[in-house]
Amino acid sequence: MGDVAQRIAEMLLRTEAIQVYKEKPFVFVSGRISPVYIDCRKILSFPDERDYIVTQLAKKAETDVGLGNIDVVAGGETAGIPYASFVSHLDTVLHGGKFDGTMGVIAALEAVRTLKEHKIVLQCPVEVVCFVGEESSRFGYSTLGSSLIAGEIHGKDLAHAVDAQGTKLEDVLANMGIYRNNLRSMRRDPSTIKAYLELHIEQGPILEAKKRPIGVVTSIAAPTRFKVVFTGQADHSGTTPMEMRRDALVAAAELTVAVEKVCRRYSHMKKGRVVGTVGTLQIEPGVINAIPGRAELAVDIRSITAEAKQRVVRLVKAHIREIARRRKIRVEILPLREEDPVPLDKRLIRLLKECCEARNIAYEIMPSGAGHDAMQMAKVTPAGMLFIPSRLGISHSPLEWSEPEDICLGAQLLLDSIVRVANEAI
Ligand code: GLV
Ligand code: MN
Ligand code: MN
């Protein structure tokens, strides 16, 4: 890829836009999928930030940007021939880093630019797509854009997806003409995509520890997510005797510790490893001199093994009911997302390994603990993923970092693999 190292380093490490917006979620989506996503992009995203970064990327990558979407095609467009897609996302978690998602997008743009510069002719068109809302920043609902495309948003999951201002995801979608009864019609026709490849940072410690520059991903852990609302009794903090209190926050605190305890029992690194997190907590009334009467928290439990995850989910729910009973507090469990772990395509895993071997690059075969758009796209097309190391395994933090040499290696392998995917039978 010639001077790719310098170009990617410049784009990723010095692009002002990414630094400026790293503290806010920004999202957009490809217009290639369907016009509905163009509207979706406007409503589900934060337009100024998005437009700014799109413009920056367009300038730097010299790609075509239509309607504010990055949608780059190389190798010619031919009606009826499926596209090979490289995809990632540009939205971030609040206070996140600038490598999660963005690195894959920039590397994909760089790969496409390289294809164009070298006038490489492919057997099928190649597209770069950026999905809307991969992170759960606004609605607690991850991989929103790719889930719509994969036909994987289910009505029952929508009911409790609400943003910090109280806006319901369901209402936002309804404003765009997407209702429970036509959700499936948003699914992209699988015959239009030949395969899907995503380059991403590992977001964990394994590659660094094993000193391997590349991970070939075998499967993606999927979350079970739910909100828990404890309703006790708000009361005076000075006059209410300790034994008469129905403190919703203490119930939430007990639950948080229970999630940790149960998951630690199942957190061995082999098959069956389960992780669990309480990532949000809101209390009311939230003043220093009142006992909290209401506490709402969100639980995220993940594993590569569906059975292990289900066992942990059952145990955690049993704890929730026991805490509520003992403390005489009302409790509601509101489901957000229930997904199964996703195996990636075996032929693509082999192809990615061969690409590493062809360049003598050491790789690790590994599952992904983080969620990715690939887990949705795997439901409509063969999907494969490559990882590069994350320094200290840190992600979803401003400390997120990957070395430019590793990014370049990843981009090179992405390019190698997309050429093979475009030119060979998959
Ligand atoms: C996405 O980054 C996720 O795994 O939550
Ligand atoms: Mn992320
Ligand atoms: Mn990501």
Other Cβ atoms closer than 10 A to 102: 27
- Measured distance CA(219)–CA(378) in Å, rounded: 10
Q: Is 91 a pocket residue for ligand 1 (Cβ < 6 Å)?
A: no
Pocket probe for ligand 1: among 27, 91, 92, 93, the residue whose CB has the most ligand atoms within 8 Å is: 93
Residues 6+ away with beta carbon under 8 Å from 134? 27, 88, 89, 91, 101, 142, 143, 144, 145, 146, 372, 373
Asked whether the bond before 35 is cis by omega within 30 degrees of 0, the reply is: no
> For residue 203, which atom of ligand 1 is closest to its CA?
2
With tokens 């719509």, the residue in question is 148
**Closest by CA position to 402, among listed 33, 115, 83, 98:** 98
In angstroms, what is the span from residue 142 Cα to ligand 2's centroid?
9
Is the separation of the CB atoms in 128 and 108 below 8 Å?
A: yes
The structure tokens listed for 4 are: 């790719």
Q: What is the mean pLDDT of residues 165-184?
A: 81
Q: Is 371 a pocket residue for ligand 1 (Cβ < 6 Å)?
A: yes
**Closest by CA position to 84, among listed 38, 42, 120, 136:** 120
- Measured distance CA(354)–CA(417) in Å, rounded: 9
Residues 6+ away with beta carbon under 8 Å from 274? 263, 266, 267, 301, 302, 303, 305, 308, 309, 311, 312
- Measured distance CA(274)–CA(83) in Å, rounded: 36
In angstroms, what is the span from residue 376 Cα to ligand 1's centroid?
13
- Measured distance CA(311)–CA(302) in Å, rounded: 11
Pocket probe for ligand 1: among 27, 98, 131, 135, the residue whose CB has the most ligand atoms within 8 Å is: 135
In angstroms, what is the span from residue 372 Cα to ligand 3's centroid?
6
- Measured distance CA(10)–CA(107) in Å, rounded: 12
- What is the tens place of the pLDDT at every residue in 310-369? 999 999 999 999 999 999 999 999 999 899 999 999 999 999 999 999 999 999 999 999
Q: Which ligand lies nearest to the CA atom of residue 279 in the structure?
A: 1
Strand order across the 294-303 sheet: 274-284, 294-303, 222-231, 330-338
Q: What is the mean pLDDT of residues 7-35?
A: 36
Q: Is 370 a pocket residue for ligand 1 (Cβ < 6 Å)?
A: yes
Q: What is the mean pLDDT of residues 404-409?
A: 87
Q: Is 135 a pocket residue for ligand 1 (Cβ < 6 Å)?
A: yes
The residue nearest atom 5 of ligand 1, judged by CA position, is 371
Q: What is the mean pLDDT of residues 194-198?
A: 93
> For residue 101, which atom of ligand 1 is closest to its CA?
2
- Measured distance CA(267)–CA(421) in Å, rounded: 36
- What is the tens place of the pLDDT at every residue in 252-288? 999 999 999 999 998 775 667 899 999 999 999 999 9
Q: What is the mean pLDDT of residues 189-208?
A: 93
- Predicted local distance difference test score (pLDDT) of residue 324: 98
- What is the tens place of the pLDDT at every residue in 66-93? 222 344 444 444 545 666 777 777 677 7
What is the rounded end-to-end Cα distance, in angstroms, of the chain? Answer: 25
pTM beyond 0.75, yes or no: yes
Q: What is the mean pLDDT of residues 371-389?
A: 95
Q: Is 96 a pocket residue for ligand 1 (Cβ < 6 Å)?
A: no
- Predicted local distance difference test score (pLDDT) of residue 74: 47
φ, ψ (nearest 5 deg) of residue 419: -65, -45
Q: Is 382 a pocket residue for ligand 1 (Cβ < 6 Å)?
A: no
- Predicted local distance difference test score (pLDDT) of residue 216: 98
